[in-house]
């Protein structure tokens, strides 16, 4: 779990615009680790997290007129039913508002990258760090099953 930079890119809603931006990222060897695209009539909002913030910023500066940067909380979760819900519930229980969230599909039985835009980043990290530590300590004392 860590805080990363998310880019919100405002795109004209017409064929080829998304392909041009993502293609430019690929040509610059920037790996997009998570993304979502929403439609707002004449334009779309592409939100993405990339492995190289400086290069991504450079690509966007050359290919896009209107984009912003936002700190987001990025977690790696197991790709199984309820994993995303458990994190959302932990934050809700502690009154941390989730403005929006999205995740990668992940492979069956593998991991998924999850992005949260939360109202209080420090509080969210503290809650999830505490939860992770509690799970580790209880799993260390789990009795072994007989064969």
Domains observed in the chain: 2-70 (3.30.2130.10), 71-138 (3.30.70.260)
Distance, in Å, from the CA atom of 16 to the CA atom of 12, rounded to the nearest integer, reads: 10
**β-bridge pairing 67-78 and 111-118:** antiparallel
pLDDT at residue 107, as a whole number: 72
What is the percent of the chain with per-residue pLDDT over 70, rounded to a whole number?
90
pLDDT at residue 40, as a whole number: 81
* Contact yes or no for 96/59 (Cβ under 8 A): no
pLDDT band at 42 (very low <50, low <70, confident <90, very high): confident
Tell me: pLDDT of 28 over 50.
yes
């Amino acid at each position: 779990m860590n805080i990363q930079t998310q880019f919100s890119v405002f795109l004209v809603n017409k064929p080829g615009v998304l392909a041009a931006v993502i293609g430019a990222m690929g040509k610059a060897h920037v790996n997009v680790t998570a993304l979502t695209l929403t439609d707002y009539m004449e334009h779309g909002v592409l939100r993405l997290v990339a492995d190289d913030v400086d290069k991504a910023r450079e690509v966007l500066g050359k290919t896009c007129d209107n984009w912003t940067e936002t700190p987001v909380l990025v977690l790696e979760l197991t790709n199984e039913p309820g994993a995303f819900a458990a994190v959302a519930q932990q934050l809700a229980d502690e009154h941390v508002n989730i403005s929006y969230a999205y995740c990668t599909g992940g492979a069956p039985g593998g991991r998924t990258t999850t992005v949260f835009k939360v109202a209080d980043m420090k509080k969210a990290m503290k809650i999830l760090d505490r939860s992770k530590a509690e799970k580790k300590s209880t799993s260390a004392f789990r009795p072994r099953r007989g064969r």
